[in-house]
Amino acid sequence: MSTINKAAAQVTATVISNKRVGAYHQIILSVGEVVRHCRPGNFIAIQVGGESSRMVLRRAFAISRTSESAQFGGTVELIVAPHGTGSKWLCAQGEGSEVDVVTPLGKPFGVPTEPANALLIGGGYGSAPLFGLADLLKSRGCRVDMVLGASNGSKIYAPMEGKRSVNSLKIFTEDGSMGESGRVTSQLSSIIEERGVEIIYSCGPMAMLKAITEIADQHGVIHQASVEESMACGIGICMTCVLPVKDDQGVISMKRSCIDGPVMDGSSVCWDLVGKSTEGF
Ligand SMILES: Cc1cc2nc3c(=O)[nH]c(=O)nc-3n(C[C@H](O)[C@H](O)[C@H](O)COP(=O)(O)OP(=O)(O)OC[C@H]3O[C@@H](n4cnc5c(N)ncnc54)[C@H](O)[C@@H]3O)c2cc1C
Ligand code: FES
């Protein structure tokens, strides 16, 4: 049975920097020693709204990159879209502010033991966990290609930085304002074939993860998908974040994406049943 990430710790983090980048904020938090346990795919749960806030639930954010420096100690980088009350509060925190965080949470991406051809696909802020993953895969000798997509160009996070992190980067926007017009799946079959892709890592909206799974399955390519199902507790207690997942025998059960994920084997998730009643499983 899955349990909370054993390395998780609650710490008071300091905002080292908070910069607006397109539609997002790049926020760097100093978290101390716990950074050593943070892996690509793990997430951080942040208490928002200050001490007297009525926003009781922590908000989850993917860890984009980590670093250790003599000046700031262990830091984590986040890419935050300010859309609701909690994320807007976080994006308003200036340098030197303190926030209460729990990290690392969740299961990280699995990394191949031998060099492989990897394709990383991010939708919107779903690109966040892929940058640190790209660094790790490249350090292991993998070829790393990346495809990013969003509704428009302002929602593609730091495209130049993305380009530097990988062997090749393709961008798709629905309105054609950056890269090619279309979706991340528009040329996926041909990219898989041309690049000899052996493993796909993805993060983004459920519909995107479902569409990638279908194409990955057609090509027999492993697909690790990081799901961003709404989470309340983030530590396996409340069952808010459950997803229908089938095992090797085809038996479907509800898995908690905060502790059994957020990284899941795409082909094991029953995407069509997400959000539906569990009766008849
Ligand atoms: C694993 C994971 C990784 C993620 N990574 C990223 C990322 O890298 N970047 C990013 O931008 N987003 C990320 N998200 C999404 C992010 O968690 C949500 O955008 C964030 O929770 C939104 O919070 P909000 O308060 O701004 O939005 P809201 O929509 O206002 O609230 C979000 C949740 O909090 C609840 N809530 C709202 N108000 C209150 C209240 N007063 N008291 C209690 N609960 C309340 C809502 O019911 C809802 O469930 C990730 C989510 C997950 C699960
Ligand atoms: S968020 Fe509470 S069990 Fe996953």
Our measurement of the distance from residue 100's CA atom to the centroid of its chain's CA atoms, rounded to an integer in Å, reads 20
Q: In what order do the strands lie in the sheet with 59-62?
A: 59-62, 43-46, 98-105, 9-21, 24-30, 73-80, 65-69
Tell me the per-residue pLDDT of 121-147, one tens digit each, with 9 for 90 and over.
999 999 999 999 999 999 999 999 999
Q: Which atom of ligand 2 is the closest one to the Cα of 258?
A: 4
Question: Residue holding tokens 């926003």?
Answer: 55
Site residues for ligand 2, CB cut-off 6 Å: 231-234, 236-241, 256, 258
User: From the CA of 81, which ligand is nearest?
Assistant: 1
Q: Which atom of ligand 1 is the closest one to the Cα of 80?
A: 11
Beta strands in the chain (DSSP E): 9-21, 24-30, 43-46, 59-62, 65-69, 73-80, 98-105, 117-123, 143-150, 168-173, 180-181, 199-203, 222-226, 242-246, 252-256, 263-265
- Mutating to test ligand 1, I would choose from 44, 52, 85 the residue with most ligand atoms within 8 A of its C-beta, which is 85
User: Rounded to the nearest whole angstrom, what is the distance from the C-alpha of residue 82 to the centroid of ligand 1?
Assistant: 10
Atom 6 in ligand 1: residue holding the nearest Cα = 61
For the chain, give every domain's residue range. 9-105, 109-228, 229-281
Helix (H), strand (E) at residue 91 = helix 85-91
Its sign, for the CA torsion 56, 59, 60, 62, is negative
Whether the predicted pLDDT of 280 surpasses 90: no
Atom 3 in ligand 2: residue holding the nearest Cα = 236
Tell me the per-residue pLDDT of 207-227, one tens digit each, with 9 for 90 and over.
999 999 999 999 999 999 999
* 58 CB-near residues (< 8 Å, 6+ apart): 45, 46, 47, 48, 102, 234
Q: Which atom of ligand 2 is the closest one to the Cα of 233?
A: 2
User: Rounded to the nearest whole angstrom, what is the distance from the C-alpha of residue 15 to the centroid of ligand 2?
Assistant: 26
User: Rounded to the nearest whole angstrom, what is the distance from the C-alpha of residue 3 to the centroid of ligand 2?
Assistant: 11
pLDDT of residue 281: 60
User: From the CA of 107, which ligand is nearest?
Assistant: 1
User: Rounded to the nearest whole angstrom, what is the distance from the C-alpha of residue 257 to the centroid of ligand 2?
Assistant: 7
On whether the CB atoms of residues 103 and 59 are closer than 8 A, the answer is no
Atom 29 in ligand 1: residue holding the nearest Cα = 84
- Architecture of the domain whose range is 229-281: Ribbon (2.10)
Provide CATH code, domain 9-105: 2.40.30.10
Rounded to 5 degrees, what are φ and ψ at 109?
Answer: -65, 145
pTM of the model: 0.94
Mean pLDDT score of the chain, rounded to an integer?
94
Provide CATH code, domain 109-228: 3.40.50.80
Tell me the per-residue pLDDT of 19-78, one tens digit each, with 9 for 90 and over.
999 999 999 999 999 999 999 999 999 999 988 788 889 999 999 999 998 888 999 999
pLDDT of residue 57: 94
On whether the CB atoms of residues 158 and 184 are closer than 8 A, the answer is no
DSSP-H helix ranges across 102-205: 128-139, 159-165, 188-195
